[in-house]
Structure 1
């Protein structure tokens, strides 16, 4: 072999080795990205929806953020507590409820983890507790012996009402004399005007329509008590997260992106998208409610959860005597680890 040919062969071998090392390195890097991004371990997520409304996971799917995961609708929920209970029993893969209701269920040893906030209170989205004009009810003390209509017990409305009564200085015995009555939201205004109840919890389109008709005013609002805050979260079971970390991440990531899309997109476009989703899913629903949509109400970017949004209700349950002081720890109770905005400022 000539010196020239030997030199050429040496160069070729060196080049081959270099390429092999480069490809190996690239392959290793690609495998790392694939492992961290991850292919979802399941193909679909079972959930409950709401009549005439669009959830952020549903919006995420329509926007293409959730793919390759798909949602499987199994029915409409009747309340937040029922929705998260369905997650515990395994009937659904995710569900959402008021944070206080979640804390209460966790205190009962339910193996669930809040992973992203999905509703809350801001300047445009809030609930008022309304009385008729001319009502003798002027203060919290006047509610003793009276009836307040709520959509369900053990959720947002009940916690807010009792916090209002606590702050006004009512004793535990006096608070027991304030009766909470479960009334379907669509008939709450009518029930108030018929004087079958003394106070009605009204929010969203039902509040706006009632105010248009006049004759009512708020005794107090949840925003008066807590300001701007995320009030409810979606939960997954600990078992689901452990078995399906990639699917869990994809679900939270997609939902977070949908929240930010709704937050930053012109309101008219968001409403139009909601109407499209409702019409295309073919459940024979009325789209009039979504026309009154105003904001996400979610405080943290992309649904990031903050300590106070659970710490407040842990302390509340302690004060109520439902759980013992120290029974629940805030650390580890919820997680933002799957949220793509976790490293950004809220």
Structure 2
């Protein structure tokens, strides 16, 4: 009897040992996947606005396969950053992007949104210039008093940069108010300048390069003269969207950040070719010729990571201009990097 008991014990021990061995082998081979599987997404459709003749990083992320199983739903084109993020506030879209100043003003007005990834900016290749005709008498900031400046929209990047230029060059608030901003579609910016409808016009990208090729104009100053290379704006999500869809939010922002980093590290000619393919395949009856002039993302950080510093610049400006009270907004409360693929402390390459 004792011998039989010993035999049974040995068999049970061997069986347990074999089970442990098989489990270890399965883990090593990757067949035990549930612990590492991505959590289910709360929603699979993301509504957004595009830009005519351009490819957004949201669209690029989708084309690169970084968003799957998320699907994009294009609801139309936007004309400006402030309009784009307003549709996020109203719930007509899920994601939109704008200049930091416009985002901060909405947040200060209690709009329930948060910046989640920087998506545009200025560098040596991609920047906003303020142009005058070669025979213009305007040489300095003070010469702008009583003059008209064409910008794409009021209350956004181009207005803030201009007003900072005036302030740094000694114009008082009352003098700065004598410089008139005129909202003009970017495509007509060169025309209104050459026809003397305005004294200064803002130009960038293909519109700037083509205008310079035609000659007769030059830059009075550029935004990079004031701020160097900087990320100027971010995509935003509603607070409720993040709360209700944390997994979808992570998938969306991680995908966009990976797309930005892809564009930051891929030769420009390859990026342009990808953009042209995307525009051709979406069939929106648009002119894709500006894409051939694309040079860089302009985004200063890897994958669009946001920092306190790049937002504090604009908080300080809004306080200085009397639009914010000191301490009204804290930079770190206006954004989150928690969904960025390259966020601090995350080993993105291990996934």
TM-score when normalising by structure 2: 0.92
Aligned to 2:136: 135
The alpha carbon displacement at 1:331 in A equals 2.2
Aligned to 1:33: 36
Aligned to 1:274: 275
The alpha carbon displacement at 1:344 in A equals 7.2
Q: 1: CA distance between counterparts of 2:44 and 2:106?
A: 28
Root mean square deviation, CA, Å: 2.2
Secondary structure (helix, strand or coil) at the match of 1:154 reads coil
Alignment of 1:1-346 (within 5 A): 2-3=3-4, 5-15=7-17, 18=20, 31-34=34-37, 37-343=38-344
The alpha carbon displacement at 1:190 in A equals 0.5
Larger mean CA deviation between 147-156 and 8-17 belongs to: 8-17
The alpha carbon displacement at 1:30 in A equals 5.1
Secondary structure (helix, strand or coil) at the match of 2:74 reads strand
Q: Please give the per-residue CA displacement for 1:85-115, whole angstroms capped at 9, x wherever unaligned.
A: 0000000000000011111111111110000
Contact persistence 2:255–2:341 (CA under 8 A): no
Q: 2: CA distance between counterparts of 1:10 and 1:127?
A: 75
Aligned to 2:349: none
Q: 2: CA distance between counterparts of 1:30 and 1:328?
A: 44
Secondary structure (helix, strand or coil) at the match of 2:154 reads coil
Q: 2: CA distance between counterparts of 1:20 and 1:109?
A: 57
Q: 2: CA distance between counterparts of 1:58 and 1:170?
A: 42
Aligned in 2, Cα 1:17/1:270: closer, same or farther, shift over 3 Å? closer
The alpha carbon displacement at 1:31 in A equals 5.0
Contact persistence 2:100–2:311 (CA under 8 A): yes
TM-score when normalising by structure 1: 0.94
Larger mean CA deviation between 335-344 and 312-321 belongs to: 335-344
Aligned length: 342
Q: 1: CA distance between counterparts of 2:274 and 2:331?
A: 37
The alpha carbon displacement at 1:308 in A equals 1.7
The alpha carbon displacement at 1:9 in A equals 3.0
The alpha carbon displacement at 1:340 in A equals 1.8
The alpha carbon displacement at 1:265 in A equals 1.3
The alpha carbon displacement at 1:287 in A equals 1.3
Q: 1: CA distance between counterparts of 2:115 and 2:35?
A: 27
Larger mean CA deviation between 145-154 and 265-274 belongs to: 265-274
